[in-house]
Structure 1
């Protein structure tokens, strides 16, 4: 199998190391994910996909390797091959329902017997307007999704994505935005401006949508238009940076201390695992036993 920078496995001549079960598997029993090129044994992938379908509720199924650089998402064809027919059908149904819930321009028909998907277009003034179901022709409110009646009063106002500005980007203070990587709608009602998408695990700034995956010290909020807009006090940010720096220094110290010990112990470790040495010792032991038997006097018959 090809070995490249995006591969997350260690291969030998006739086996592939699976990071899920931590065992070496024959090459014929493994599968490679198309989106990220990671390789795992097929049995582990089947268990992972089937468990994820039952627990994630239609969310995209990502590569099981947390250290995957590409954060690959499994294709529908791969999910169908790793799951049973019933589970694959369940995943597609949950995925469709999740898409309707996250799309502010769509809604379920409020009539229980219908449950059709309807297009919702709020009025430009932001006032509630009646919408018509294309299947059962029921009339419901575009805001609260309740049946429209005479003198209807809308008591619930779900958040609506504000229109983009002239540059095509959403407003900085918009309550709902799309993840810049997977385009899933995300709502922010409180908390800091460093956002983590639950769908694709992408970290970004809420105001400018800049990538923050590698910004462990949050230096993005030290300058530029997002300066001091993280949402935490300066003391809290400095304490967080001190903790991160302390963890990195601690790991470095451990590596520096243990490296000489590992170098000194490496000859002993190699000797213990060296098979030719064990074979030589076994041969010497067998030769010694044979020589001892030859030297023993034969028993005399009385």
Structure 2
């Protein structure tokens, strides 16, 4: 006979109150104690779960973008913090921090050892004017303009050097607006090292000069802090806070993205150059500059068809070229048959070293060295050029997006996959460009072959996406899924390459032909 679930569990586990004897109660109590003892295990389990959360990629760094207001607030917080320790006014504390380049611990240590010396060295002195004001002084004559009008306003700091208010204003305006000084403006008297504080500037300066004064104080704050850097984009007012030190740049490439959208390296301020470390990037650019005539020849936009020798101009980002005259399909980079690209024979990215016999003699070695450099520079320059063409192509594609939207019935959001593909292409071209500068300085070993395999896989995927991207507008709708999938794939291949190179730099696994420290 079948039993209900209540009957089934009741026959084995349910007991009446009378049946709960002392032994049963003791057993239940022991079970409860055991359950409570497992709380620690539960906490450990949750902690392990937290440890298993996705880790940040090795090629990414922690950073914060700061606005003008946030920079001012940071300064105020640090000034308030130190002011309570030193027992000094706000303006005086700010001057002390600027003098010590915002190194709080060093300032406190020096001040505690000899406060009078610190104040004197910082341009403050023992006496401080807490309430600066304009005064009319009978019988006074300004040493700058020689005016001795008894009704004119004058001003003097605690150093006692007095000038008429108009001359003092003109002096501050010249220092701030023309010379770009702010935190270390000294008294107008020659030989006096007393520093003009912010209260004096607020008292004398016009609103325009005062606004510029605040901007310059922010500038000096960022310039003095090694963990801060201004975004290099023109007219961008954001700064980036990143804890990566200059001594770590041989192990990491601290790429950051400003709120304005610019991707750049925090270490050197150059545009994003992953996976090439700062030292190699600078060496490569210097070498390209030194070999400018060769570089100019290589970067020419026309080549000859390898079959019929017709002149061909590259007008798109894709490297799959088809000669209009003979219909021969070839690779713009290596000039080899396109049929071999995308197969196991694809070897366009790898430079084949010549044997010792082939490079015998000084002339042969020089020729081999130049050939090697041209191999890497050709591909570096090509990806740089293709990225610009891909960007121009997207501008034209905006019209295609509008046309596609009206002809296919897609919404504007649905045709945004073209913008995503364009962004992925430009980002991957930028990465591929710098992989060739990176590879130029690599010593040949097994790690190099793995790197070149990753480089090849990314390059092949990028060329396929670029070819899809150049289809006419009436074919874009049909290739939408393929383009979306390929966009995701190139992003995946880029992450794999950057992750491998970043781990190799961190572990100092890569061996270079030059010193990168």
TM-score tier after normalising by the smaller chain length: 0.3 to 0.5
Q: Which has the larger radius of gyration?
A: 2
Question: Comparing both structures, which one devotes a greater share of its residues to helix?
Answer: 2
What TM-score comes out, normalization by structure 1 length? 0.40
* Structure with greater strand percent: 1
Query: Relative contact order (alpha carbons < 8 A, sep ≥ 6): 1 or 2 greater?
Result: 2
